[in-house]
Amino acid sequence: MIFALVDYVRYRFQRGPYSPQKLKEDGWFLADESSLEMIKGARDADILFSQPTNSFTSWVVMYFQGGPCSHVATLTKAGTVVEAITSGVVERSASVYFDGKHYLAIGKHRQWNEEIGQRVVSFMRSQVGCRCGWGKIVSLGFHILIGDHSDWRPRISFDVLILLATAWLAAYKFHSVQWGILTVGAVYAGTVSIIRLRPHPAPYDTAVTS
């Protein structure tokens, strides 16, 4: 878990890729009352990327996905966002993010037109009230963990193996447990190695600009 621990410390103290300077260079801004005008020109189907400044859950998402964004929402020209949160899919004012505790970035589709924007927002609004897809979230995390996703990074597997090695050392009095840990480690390493032999293109729409 060394890589995870180092990354979490950087996140908590806003260093490296989480530093205000780096985020600003990449088009992010601190969302507070002084920056509310940033959403006044929002179009239907613009994308709101979010990074809370102090959320362990959000950090886990960013660590697994290898990027500065932990949450994505669909903006509307009315200044609302349609998004999936833990309670389900909701539409609410985008101002909830402007509390001085979030960094935001706004993405725009390069091939956007008003009709496409309306269709996207109409579809998203049809999903309001649906439950959060916890099964899909767990499945996504599992696939990243075993290398079966474009968001996989070597550090994730190294952390798993380091954790297993630590458990192996802690179980020095229980040889049967140690053998079990060795087996799990070998199976995991072999599985990841085989899965990574095939390409894993990013499933996201790349026609987005900030």
Same domain, 110 and 141: no
Low-confidence ranges of the chain (pLDDT < 50): 206-208
Q: Identify the pLDDT of residue 9.
A: 97
Same domain, 9 and 62: yes
Q: Identify the pLDDT of residue 208.
A: 45
Q: Number of folded domains in the chain?
A: 2
Q: Which domain holds residue 160?
A: 137-195
Which residues lie across from 84 on neighbouring strands?
89
Same domain, 94 and 39: yes
pTM of the model: 0.86
Domain boundary among 116, 132, 148: 132
Domain boundary among 104, 132, 160: 132
Same domain, 108 and 166: no
Which residues lie across from 47 on neighbouring strands?
74, 107
Q: Identify the pLDDT of residue 207.
A: 45
Both tokens of residue 115?
A: 């009709």
Tell me: the pLDDT tens digits for 81-120? 999 999 999 999 999 999 999 999 999 888 889 999 999 9
Same domain, 71 and 22: yes
Question: CA 40, CA 78: separation in Å to the nearest integer?
Answer: 9
Q: Identify the pLDDT of residue 114.
A: 93
Q: Identify the pLDDT of residue 204.
A: 55
Please check whether residue 204 lies inside any domain of the structure: no
Same domain, 167 and 122: no
Q: Identify the pLDDT of residue 157.
A: 97
Please name the helix (run of DSSP H) or strand (run of DSSP E) that holds residue 209, with its range, or none: strand 208-209
